[in-house]
């Protein structure tokens, strides 16, 4: 699928992996809609990109109305062709331990944002894409979701996060099959240890130790590397129904 001139929605597009994706797609000529909870970061990024091809839409991915509005904004003046879901949160707690059972509310919240929120964006973006005219390759759109290597390598205390990201990976193939007749592709990326705002809060020695645990390259992944894979997926029509690990051959230890 051609990126130049296409309309793209990036959920969680104001920071981290999402912001890098926003910049990469914009640089390739897309009209980008940054859907994010943070008005300050989203509006700042839209101003930074300038030139009328970037806009911000305040959006909570768990809110159907907000996502519908963001999808409509992204499709304004054209057809929404690209949807990327990067919005997500984490939580660390054991299933049961000295303090008792894992609290139910944070588990539900993580699943609501990471899994249900991703599905919310996917279902509404795909619905909008169904009305597109097929492009020269016969495609109407592509939806890319963010899983994590935790879906397969969940560590101690990651049960909520791993469950939510496992759901994202597991729904990729059935979603691709559901949407195949509409000529809409669905893919997921499962990043490993990336230099995002979450890891930026750690002390530098801890960040270095995490980077050293990656076989090759022995460092934290860069958000721009995630964004480069997004572009490759968009442009390669045979990539469909798959979750791609982006982790430098890392396999996470139990803790």
- Cα distances (Å, whole numbers) of residue 150 to 128, 157, 159, 194: 31, 11, 9, 13
Please indicate whether residue 151 is annotated as part of the active site.
no
User: At a CB cut-off of 8 Å and minimum separation 6, what does 63 contact?
Assistant: none
Contact at 8 Å (CB) between 64 and 119?
A: no
133 vs 131: CA distance, rounded Å? 7
What count of other Cβ atoms lies within 10 Å of the Cβ of residue 157?
18
Say if CB 192 and CB 165 are below 8 A apart: no
Residue 154, H or E segment: none
Burial (0-12, 13-18, 19+ Cβ within 10 Å), 62:
middle
Residue tagged active-site, from 91, 161, 194, 226: 161
Backbone angles phi, psi at 155, to 5 degrees: -95, 175
Provide the token pair at 151: 């879906």
Please list the active-site residues: 161
């Amino acid at each position: 699928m051609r990126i130049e001139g296409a309309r793209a929605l990036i959920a969680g597009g104001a920071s981290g992996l999402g912001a890098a994706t926003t910049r990469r797609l914009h640089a390739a000529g897309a009209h980008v809609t940054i859907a994010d909870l943070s008005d300050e970061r989203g509006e700042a990024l839209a101003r930074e990109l300038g030139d009328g091809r970037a806009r911000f839409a305040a959006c909570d991915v768990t809110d159907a109305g907000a996502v519908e509005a963001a999808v409509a904004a992204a499709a304004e003046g054209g057809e929404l062709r690209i949807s990327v879901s990067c919005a997500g949160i984490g939580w660390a707690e054991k299933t049961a331990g000295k303090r008792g059972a894992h609290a139910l509310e944070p588990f539900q919240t993580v699943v609501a944002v990471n899994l249900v929120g991703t599905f919310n964006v996917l279902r509404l973006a795909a619905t909008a894409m169904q009305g597109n005219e097929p492009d020269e390759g016969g495609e109407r759109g592509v939806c890319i979701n963010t899983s994590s290597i935790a879906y397969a390598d969940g560590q101690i205390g990651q049960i909520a996060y791993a469950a939510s990201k496992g759901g994202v990976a597991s729904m990729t193939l059935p979603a691709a099959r559901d949407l195949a007749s509409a000529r809409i592709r669905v893919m997921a990326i499962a990043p490993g240890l990336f230099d995002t705002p979450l890891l930026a809060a750690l002390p530098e020695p801890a960040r270095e130790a995490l980077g050293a645990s990656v076989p090759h390259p022995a460092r934290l992944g860069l958000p721009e590397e995630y964004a480069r894979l997004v572009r490759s997926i968009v442009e390669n029509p045979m990539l469909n129904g798959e979750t791609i690990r982006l982790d430098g051959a890392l396999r996470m230890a139990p803790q």
